[in-house]
Amino acid sequence: MAKQLYDYWFVQFDFPNENGRPYKSSGGAMVWNEKLKREIPKEWDNCTLEYYLIIKNGRDHKHLGNGIYPVYGSGGEIRKVDSFIYSGESILMPRKGSLNNIMYVNDAFWSVDTMFYSEMKQPHCAKYVFYSIKDIDFTRWDSGTGVPSMTSSTLYSILLVKPDADSLAKFDEIITPLFLMIKKNEMQIVELTKQRDDLLPLLMNGQASVNYHLAHSLATFSILYRHKPKDIENEKNSYTHRCGWNGNHFIQRAA
């Protein structure tokens, strides 16, 4: 949903106009931008990535003790340590290795020397920047002779659409709850995975068993829903209507 909303606003340019209608589809003024080689909303402009952020170099983590702060490399999270290099919204961009593994972080973290991290220079821009560069194929700018490599100057020069400040603020306000939900789900996955890994050996060797009432409830739930496909279809249609998904893209609905 978050990605669909980004596409709707900043690729299709159907962000809500002053009347709450889709801008481009409702006849909003568009102008040709020579640098971007495309039409953009009349009041918008172009800029480079450097306008939005400052790129910082990561550092070695081997001297750090174990702790609660994630360490990110170009392949993802490596370990957790007792110190952090930065805290807040940041876009992480690989310097070496998996160049297309762009990450958004909004927490305290450590970044290794194969991973750039960034500090935002403009308000409400981090999620917009994340989606703007996430699908870029960075391997075409590989400057390495062995391991794939990226330079900060190359990243800084990436051309982006520059929306007006109000649109960025509204987008950030709407999309932030979705990111919080993603983070909550990821935390639950970690906790449930740990519980599974702890309980599975006990179940396998007979030291623990599934509670009778829980097993009975799950069996009853399964039987009920096997015999009520119409209820499932109705609930699916209800959810589809509430979230504004038409089968192809996210739709903004009036309150």
Q: Does 200 have pLDDT greater than 50?
A: yes
Tell me what the pLDDT averaged over the chain comes to: 87
Contact yes or no for 79/119 (Cβ under 8 A): no
Q: Name every residue whose Cβ is closer than 8 Å to that of residue 235 and which is 6 or more positions away in sequence.
A: none
The conformation of residue 60, written as its DSSP 8-state character, comes to: -
CA distance 211 to 231: 28
> Which pLDDT does position 239 carry in this prediction?
44
Q: What's the residue count for the chain?
A: 255
- pLDDT over 90 for what percent of the chain? 71
Q: What is the pLDDT of residues 17-37, one digit of tens each?
A: 999 999 999 999 999 999 999
> Which pLDDT does position 247 carry in this prediction?
47
> Which pLDDT does position 174 carry in this prediction?
96
Amino acid at 139: T
Of the two residues 100 and 215, the one the predictor is more confident about is: 100
CA distance 138 to 119: 20
| Helix%, strand%, coil% for the chain, nearest 5 | 40, 25, 35
Going by pLDDT thresholds of 50, 70 and 90, the confidence category of residue 102 is very high
> Which pLDDT does position 204 carry in this prediction?
84
H-state helical runs in 71-161: 126-134, 152-156
Measured from the Cβ of residue 199, the count of other Cβ atoms closer than 10 Å reads 13
Going by pLDDT thresholds of 50, 70 and 90, the confidence category of residue 129 is very high
> Which pLDDT does position 253 carry in this prediction?
53
> Which pLDDT does position 152 carry in this prediction?
95
> Which pLDDT does position 160 carry in this prediction?
98
> Which pLDDT does position 82 carry in this prediction?
97
Contact yes or no for 76/117 (Cβ under 8 A): no
Going by pLDDT thresholds of 50, 70 and 90, the confidence category of residue 59 is very high
Of the two residues 214 and 98, the one the predictor is more confident about is: 98
* Cα-Cα-Cα-Cα dihedral sign, residues 152, 156, 158, 160: positive
Q: CA 49 from chain center: how many Å? A: 18
Joined together, the tokens standing for residue 67 give 């702790």
CA distance 191 to 39: 47
Q: Name every residue whose Cβ is closer than 8 Å to that of residue 139 and which is 6 or more positions away in sequence.
A: 99, 100, 148
Q: Which residues pair with 48 in a beta bridge?
A: 159
Per mean pLDDT, which of 90-104, 190-204, 241-255 is the most reliable? 90-104
Measured from the Cβ of residue 102, the count of other Cβ atoms closer than 10 Å reads 19
> Which pLDDT does position 202 carry in this prediction?
86
Q: What is the pLDDT of residues 232-251, one digit of tens each?
A: 455 445 544 544 555 444 45
Going by pLDDT thresholds of 50, 70 and 90, the confidence category of residue 207 is confident
Cα 125 to Cα 68, 81, 166, 198, distances in angstroms: 27, 28, 11, 41
Is residue 141 helix, strand or coil?
helix
Residue range 213-225: mean pLDDT, rounded: 54
